[in-house]
Structure 1
Amino acid sequence: MTKITSKVYINVGRFGVSMAPFLFIALVILRLFLSTLHNSKTKKMAHPADVQLLNKALSGIGVDEKSLISILTKTHHEHKRFIRKGCSQFFIEDERQFERWDDSAIKNLKVEFKRFKDAVMLSLMHPWERDARLLKKALKKGPQLYGVIVEIACTRSSDELLGARKAYHSLFERSIEEDLATHVKGTERKLLVALVSAYRYEGPKVKEDTAKSEAKELLQAINNRDKRKPIEDEEVIRILTTRSKPHLREVYQQYKKISGKTITEGLEAEILLKETIECLCTPHTYFTKVFETALREDANEDDKKALTRLVSTQEAGNLKGISDKFAHKIEERVKGAYKDVLLGVLAKGQMSGQA
């Protein structure tokens, strides 16, 4: 008996020796046919659409877990090999003739898979601990994340900020004021230390005359920025770090009446001071800017992480109005469970605004 496949047999003795060459040729043709049939089935199973689906699932911000599960649970070895060959942005051809993960792709995917985990952890963490850890991380990262310190100090209530300072003591056995004074060497130090130390009055009372007078002081400091940076001006620091938020919003309005423009228009070169005023006086403008920056195609990793920080730390009502503006962009740029978290929080903010 001569074996052709696991299921096809021919009895050579039945036909005689003279038929052997013809049988050999028939065997070769049959094997070629079966091989072609197998390859066509493999190609049919490993459809290019799966390659496109995988590329899409792993591109953007976050990952599309449902698409990944769909691909991984229906594929066999040959199918996966076809996918690896088709996903050149994630796999590269090794010199030993196999497709391996690109190291940079692994690093990037770890970051993307981590986004949902970070959002869950920050959301479930006690607000005091969460803010203390964010402050510590921003301080370690240096000037590029000093804006996070400003955001926490200026968008929290007095009691929330005091709680974060207590948690910082407990977690790191130091005070945030001490660490800021020690590690921040630039002109930002006085402002940052004063901001995290603040315990503002939170009542509605505002003195219009005082607000008008302080608006003039701010205008003078900004107009004299060629002689001294506003961030180094003692009166600017005093006003921004001791006055209540309702009072500062009145100062903001008085400044606009006096000068014909907003305070931040004259502070393009003073980014940290500009963000301080936005967080205190026009937080919605600040939150919108953070979302816009994070969802840009060329956004860096620190900018993208700001999305997680905002949805995990801000009350839903603070983000109302942002959903309509960014929902489509989030649908387009963000993937999977992480996208669901972002849209869920923003939708909650919209409902809070309608209540």
Structure 2
Amino acid sequence: MAALGNRGTVTEAAGFNPDADAKKLRDAMKGVGTNEEAIIEVLPYRTIAQRQRIKEAFKLAVGKDLADDLSTELSGNFRSAALGLLMLPPVYDAYELRNAIKGAGTEEACLIDILASRSNAEINTINAFYKKQYGKSLEDDVCGDTSGMFQRVLVSLISAGRDESDKVDEAQAIKDAKEIYEAGEARWGTDEVKFLTVLCVRNQKHLIRVFEEYKKISGRDIEDSIKREMSGCLEDVFLAIVKCIRNKPAFFAERLYKSMKGLGTTDSVLVRTMVARAEIDMLDIKAEFLKMYGKTLYSFIKGDTSGDYRKILLALCGGE
């Protein structure tokens, strides 16, 4: 699960002037009504680092937080996207996790998307920001809002203890595959703890070998076995872990596709994924999306969203 390097669609704006951008945003929110176009011309076309400098320039010039003004002036999905763009990645992740836990009901998809896809270092930073911002540990809040084996998998991921070396132990990989098979397909009932021990702890290269061996033993992909043996959130989190291990951009491409396919759009998933991945691996996600679904991500967003919200997402998509 090593980082791919910067394969994002958002790159540094040439001739960047934080004071000019801050003024443009300030002017966009002056008087009656808001000039959303001016906001769209700035925020999605600046890097995270550049947006931090705009925030500083805005506060210096106005004596107020840019996020507070945007929060007052904007609404709905457009506001969610704009505010997300102003946050540093671990702050945004912590914010999304908090909202997923503390809203009406729990948005399990958010917990899964973030915790299954982040590195140990990223999760440790999220944990630190979460505790600082909300006064409680992420683990405590997750434990207060989830239960059973699903909770145990999330706690394991929050603990950020995955081996991140490149070492593949061939004998152990064969043993892991055999034990997962015996914990699931080969018995009545499922020993989910064995799945947790292997899927939440082993490194990426080792797990790829485990998946290969598993297919030899069982005759099917591990994803198929998870679908047969489990259900609900537990099935979802184990599938997410496996998919992120195999191909993280493909995992996010599928999440984006499912957020827009069918009746209505799951806006929270769409916004979170576009904002969080725009500067990391959106180019790879777009390539996987085209390969998997035969249509561009850009065309899907264009056909499934509307108004200013659509414009900000299309900007983050970086064109066709």
For residues 323 and 141 of structure 1, the distance between their equivalents in structure 2, rounded to whole angstroms, comes to 31
1:127 to 1:334, Cα distance in 2 relative to 1, 3 A:
same
- Moved beyond 4 Å, runs of 4+: 141-144
For residues 203 and 117 of structure 2, the distance between their equivalents in structure 1, rounded to whole angstroms, comes to 12
Which structure is larger by alpha-carbon Rg, 1 or 2?
A: 1
For residues 323 and 236 of structure 1, the distance between their equivalents in structure 2, rounded to whole angstroms, comes to 29
What code does the residue aligned with 1:277 have?
V
Which residue is 1:240 aligned to? Answer: 199
Which residue is 1:184 aligned to? Answer: 146
Q: Given that residues 119 and 160 in structure 2 are in contact (C-alpha distance below 8 angstroms), is that contact kept between their aligned partners in structure 1?
A: no
Which residue is 1:87 aligned to? Answer: none
| Residues 278-312 of structure 1: CA deviation (Å, up to 9, x unaligned) | 23333334223212221124136xx2210100011
| Residues 93-147 of structure 1: CA deviation (Å, up to 9, x unaligned) | xxxxxxxxxxxxxxxxxxx952122112112201121111111122234876223
1:185 to 1:172, Cα distance in 2 relative to 1, 3 A:
same
The share of aligned pairs that are identical, in percent, is 26
Q: Does 1:345 align with 2:310?
A: no
Which residue is 1:319 aligned to? Answer: 285
| Residues 303-355 of structure 1: CA deviation (Å, up to 9, x unaligned) | 2210100011122245241453333222222223432333333347x8xxxxx
91, 99, 121: which is aligned to 1:137? 99
Secondary structure of the structure 2 residue equivalent to 1:267: helix
1:226 to 1:298, Cα distance in 2 relative to 1, 3 A:
farther
| Residues 59-108 of structure 1: CA deviation (Å, up to 9, x unaligned) | xxxxxx88xxxxxxxxxxxxxxxxxxxxxxxxxxxxxxxxxxxxxxxxxx
Aligned Cα root-mean-square deviation (Å): 2.8
Secondary structure of the structure 1 residue equivalent to 2:121: helix
Matches within 5 A, 1:280-295: 280-295=245-260
148, 155, 168: which is aligned to 1:193? 155
What code does the residue aligned with 1:139 have?
I
Secondary structure of the structure 1 residue equivalent to 2:136: coil
Secondary structure of the structure 1 residue equivalent to 2:165: coil
1:142 to 1:177, Cα distance in 2 relative to 1, 3 A:
farther
287, 299, 304: which is aligned to 1:328? 299
Matches within 5 A, 1:1-355: 114-141=76-103, 145-224=107-186, 226-228=188-190, 230=191, 233-268=192-227, 269=231, 270-299=235-264, 303-314=266-277, 315=280, 316-322=282-288, 324=290, 325=295, 326-347=297-318
| Residues 171-209 of structure 1: CA deviation (Å, up to 9, x unaligned) | 111111122223323331111111111233333222233
Give the paired residue count: 236
For residues 106 and 222 of structure 2, the distance between their equivalents in structure 1, rounded to whole angstroms, comes to 23
For residues 186 and 217 of structure 1, the distance between their equivalents in structure 2, rounded to whole angstroms, comes to 22
**TM-score of the two chains, using structure 2 as the length reference:** 0.65
1:150 to 1:323, Cα distance in 2 relative to 1, 3 A:
closer
Segments of structure 1 that go 5 or more residues without pairing to the other structure are 1-64, 67-111, 351-355
For residues 102 and 198 of structure 2, the distance between their equivalents in structure 1, rounded to whole angstroms, comes to 28
